[in-house]
């Protein structure tokens, strides 16, 4: 079959006509470089997160060809094996130097991994009615990767308006995997199973390895194992998770596994996962550079909401972010079930961790349990935590968290709701913490004490209401 052009493949349905009309005027874009991130230095801890890169521009060759998978033999009826037809459409787009692989509304059964190795490729459907339906248990469903570690990165991709499900229980692989890519945008892609078929058939939803600039917007995520997994080469390995993206009902919502330059959570909802965000170095063997949480919601986790292991990250900022309901698996209380849990050696940069303007409540354990990092905690409401059997704290600093400033916060009713618990403290500074300021906080109504100060000698602790 000849490779179809936009004009040659105009379909009869109104949805497909509208799509091709947009493509003809360059409205669907998947190539040309996105705006690069300038420099690798970490931002100041209180700075706002960088804006996502601009959407990709039209292809530099001046036209954008459309490759409708149905013109290559795909049926989209849920029973016919459409793997070969979709791969032929991808291959034709790559041979043309770029183009859109178009998935009309339908359910496209696949029996092996779909592979993209070329630049300037868009995969676009008609929304959640365009479904790639995996029918094999092991391996990635859609994989975008270079052909070898020495090959050029696969660049300038756009993946938008389709769903990926599995009709069988997956044992490995991701719904969408990227390895060795740059300037990728994923918009309105649903990698979930509960809505479309049996609960949690997918193994992983999205994985990103060895990448430079990835933007996720308005994606829906749910899997048996992990929702989003990223690890990379640190400098330039930046990912934006934004625009109403939602991850739920997954053992680990987001795993930042080392070597990532920056992760920027903005307008992201992550709830009812085992651990909402796990930060460590277990996949790359090196720490992550920076994570910035801004206007995100982390609500409901069976363990911790955000957990940072040893050698986790250099710079960490939480701005105007909502944390709620952690540790409701065992309901044991502190030290389990914290909203933010930072282990010894988890924060590596000598500058401070910033928590500003956050709402943190209803943990069965503590609000913040930090055993590393120099923290600035200001303007936040950290209350109603310590609801588990052992109780808990609003904020507790361990010996590795010297150099901290806690000022202008409301920390009330910790360990005292819905009933008094064995431990209920607004702020605790443990022995071994030094060089800190705790001032102008409200610590009234906590179960056993407003403020417990065992640190020093270099400190200022003053003007705390209820201490």
- Answer whether residue 372 shows pLDDT above 90: yes
Distance separating alpha carbons of residues 439 and 51, to the nearest angstrom: 33
Average pLDDT over residues 116-121: 97
Instruction: Provide the 8-state DSSP code for 72.
Output: G
What does the pLDDT read at residue 311?
94
What does the pLDDT read at residue 368?
98
- Tally Cβ neighbours within 10 Å of residue 150: 7
- Answer whether residue 192 shows pLDDT above 80: yes
Please report which confidence band the pLDDT of residue 466 belongs to, taking 50, 70 and 90 as the band edges. Answer: very high
Average pLDDT over residues 451-466: 97
What does the mean pLDDT of the chain come to? 88
Q: Are 423 and 412 in contact (CB under 8 A)?
A: no
Residue 188 phi, psi dihedral angles, 5° rounding: 55, 45
- Answer whether residue 7 shows pLDDT above 50: no
What does the pLDDT read at residue 12?
36
Average pLDDT over residues 266-281: 96
- Answer whether residue 30 shows pLDDT above 70: no
The tens digit of pLDDT for each residue in 218-228 reads 999 999 999 99
The tens digit of pLDDT for each residue in 436-455 reads 999 999 999 999 999 999 99
Helix (H) or strand (E) holding 85: helix 83-95
Please report which confidence band the pLDDT of residue 233 belongs to, taking 50, 70 and 90 as the band edges. Answer: confident
What does the pLDDT read at residue 235?
63
- Answer whether residue 35 shows pLDDT above 50: no
Distance separating alpha carbons of residues 335 and 318, to the nearest angstrom: 21
**For a pLDDT cut of 70, what percent of the chain falls above it?**
85
- Among residues 250, 272, 254, which one has the least CA distance to residue 264? 254
How many CA within 13 A on the CB side of residue 88? 15
Which domains can be identified in the chain, with CATH numbers?
128-462 (2.160.20.10)
- Answer whether residue 391 shows pLDDT above 50: yes
Average pLDDT over residues 188-194: 85
Q: Are 188 and 161 in contact (CB under 8 A)?
A: yes
Residue 238 neighbours by CB under 8 Å, 6+ apart: 37, 50, 212, 213, 214, 260, 261, 262, 263, 264
Distance separating alpha carbons of residues 276 and 297, to the nearest angstrom: 10
How many CA within 13 A on the CB side of residue 434? 3
Q: Give the max Cα distance, the chain.
A: 80
Please report which confidence band the pLDDT of residue 350 belongs to, taking 50, 70 and 90 as the band edges. Answer: confident
What does the pLDDT read at residue 198?
55
How many CA within 13 A on the CB side of residue 367? 32
Average pLDDT over residues 370-376: 96
Average pLDDT over residues 167-172: 95
């Amino acid at each position: 079959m000849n490779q179809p052009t936009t004009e040659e493949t105009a379909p009869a349905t109104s949805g497909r006509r509208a799509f091709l009309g947009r493509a003809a005027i360059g409205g669907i874009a998947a190539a040309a470089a996105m705006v690069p991130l300038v420099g690798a230095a970490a931002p100041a801890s209180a700075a706002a997160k960088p804006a996502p890169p601009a959407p990709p521009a039209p292809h530099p060759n001046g036209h954008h060809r459309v490759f409708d998978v149905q013109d290559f033999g795909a049926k989209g009826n849920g029973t016919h094996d459409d793997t070969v037809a979709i791969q032929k459409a991808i291959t034709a787009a790559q041979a043309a130097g770029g183009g859109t692989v178009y998935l009309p509304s339908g359910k496209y059964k696949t029996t092996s991994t779909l592979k993209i190795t070329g630049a300037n490729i868009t995969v676009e459907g008609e929304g959640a009615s365009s479904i790639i339906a995996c029918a094999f248990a092991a391996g990635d469903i859609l994989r975008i990767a270079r052909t070898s570690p020495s090959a050029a990165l696969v660049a300038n991709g756009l993946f938008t308006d389709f769903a990926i499900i599995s009709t069988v229980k997956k044992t490995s692989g991701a719904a969408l995997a990227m390895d060795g890519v740059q300037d990728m945008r994923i918009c309105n892609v649903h990698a979930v199973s509960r809505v479309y078929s049996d609960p949690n058939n997918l193994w992983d939803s999205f994985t990103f390895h060895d990448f430079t600039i990835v933007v996720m917007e308005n994606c829906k995520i749910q899997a048996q194992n992990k929702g989003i997994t990223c690890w990379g080469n640190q400098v330039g390995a930046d990912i934006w998770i934004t625009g109403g993206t939602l991850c739920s009902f997954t053992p680990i919502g987001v795993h930042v596994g080392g070597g990532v330059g920056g992760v920027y959570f903005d307008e992201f909802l992550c709830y009812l996962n085992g651990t909402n965000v796990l930060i460590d170095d277990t996949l790359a063997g090196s720490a992550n550079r920076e994570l910035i949480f801004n206007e995100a919601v982390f609500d409901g986790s069976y363990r911790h909401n955000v957990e940072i292991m040893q050698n986790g990250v250099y710079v960490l900022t939480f701005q105007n972010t909502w944390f709620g309901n952690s540790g409701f698996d065992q309901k044991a209380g502190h030290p389990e079930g914290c909203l933010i849990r930072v282990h010894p050696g988890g924060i590596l940069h000598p500058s401070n961790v910033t928590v500003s303007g956050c709402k943190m409540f209803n943990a069965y354990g503590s609000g913040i349990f930090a055993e590393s990092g120099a923290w600035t905690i200001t303007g936040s409401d950290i209350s109603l935590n310590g609801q588990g059997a052992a109780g808990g704290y609003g904020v507790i600093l361990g010996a590795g968290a010297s150099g901290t400033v806690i000022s202008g916060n409301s920390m009330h009713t910790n360990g005292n709701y819905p009933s008094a618990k064995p431990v209920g403290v607004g702020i605790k500074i443990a022995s071994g913490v030094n060089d800190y300021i705790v001032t102008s906080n409200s610590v009234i109504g906590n179960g056993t004490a407003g403020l417990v100060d065992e640190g020093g000698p270099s400190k200022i602790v003053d003007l705390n209401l209820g201490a």
